[in-house]
Amino acid sequence: MSAELRGPAGIASGADGSGEKSGHIYTVLSPMAGVTDVSFREICHEMGASLTVTEMISAKAVTYGNKNTFKLCTLSDAEHPVSLQLFGSEPDVVAQAAQILSSRVPFDMLDINMGCPMPKIVNNGEGSALMKDPALAGRIVKAAVGAIDKPVTAKIRSGFDADHVNAVEVALAVCEAGAEMITVHGRTREQYYEGKADWGVIARVKEAVGDGAVVIGNGDIDGIDAARKMIGETGCDGIAVGRAARGNPWIFREIKEGRVYRPSPEEKKEMIMKHLKMTIAEKGEYIGIREMRKHIGWYTAGLPDSAKLRVRINQAESFDEMADLIRLGI
């Protein structure tokens, strides 16, 4: 692969180790189950995220025609470029699901999840279980690449556990299979999301794949300073933000503008109201209200009397009730 700008992501690999395009750090909103729905992805895109990624979608469920699974594939015209993330352990099933989705959903990239640590995923041989079988990981990517004419990428971890840190081996396997971008979470599966991320693994992956694939660093990015530090230490081409974006989509604005940014209480209030209206428009009032409870908890964390506000928010049953609490409580 060359160091030319390529693919819908518009990011170069190995150009100068800066991880920047037109002076801006390339940022990815990491997929999070129950969090990165279409409303939140669109908000993060508006705030400056270079690429958004859907919640994890089961390849097997797609081939079965599961209606709830296809709801997770809903995209907004305003959020492109957007990547659709699949998980699965059977190359032919992943390829079939990729073909079905490519014909029905206007996504820009297809990401294969090899990092989810949840037991129900891992026990099926999916997600981070694939870190134990680099050859299978490569076959899955190769099958997906052969099935569609859109870029295929992969999300991996540093390894399955501390005794098997093999991100370089897995990265080389999926790169050889045709993955154009590899996101590396610097934690093992056994760490889940605890402890400090090992950025050294990200550096070793970038050094190993060179210009063969774009490498995105993931783990412990909580603002512009951490983003710059990761790029400087690892040479990665961009960074991914996950949990730090919950309740703080402004993190993408901060990284894009290259300066620390803290929204005012009024800005938070306006964003919550916008997010609430978007979620209800997408999912209906009953589900939307309940989905927003956790988001408002994240948005208001650290504000005066936020604990009391969250108790009342969690009891709200209608848009008007929740909106009044937001207007008065922040």
Catalytic residues: 116
Spatial contact of 180 and 213, defined as CB atoms under 8 Å apart: yes
Which residues, in sequence order, are CB contacts of 211 under 8 Å at separation 6+?
Answer: 1, 2, 3, 13, 14
The gap from C-alpha 75 to its chain's centroid, in whole angstroms, comes to 14
- Among 218, 74, 86, which Cα is nearest to 150's? 86
Which one-letter DSSP state was computed for residue 118?
-
Query: Residue 230 corresponds to which amino acid?
Result: M
Task: Compute the distance between CA of residue 148 and CA of residue 5 in angstroms, rounded to an integer.
Answer: 20
| Residue 146 buriedness (CB in 10 A; 0-12 / 13-18 / 19+) | middle
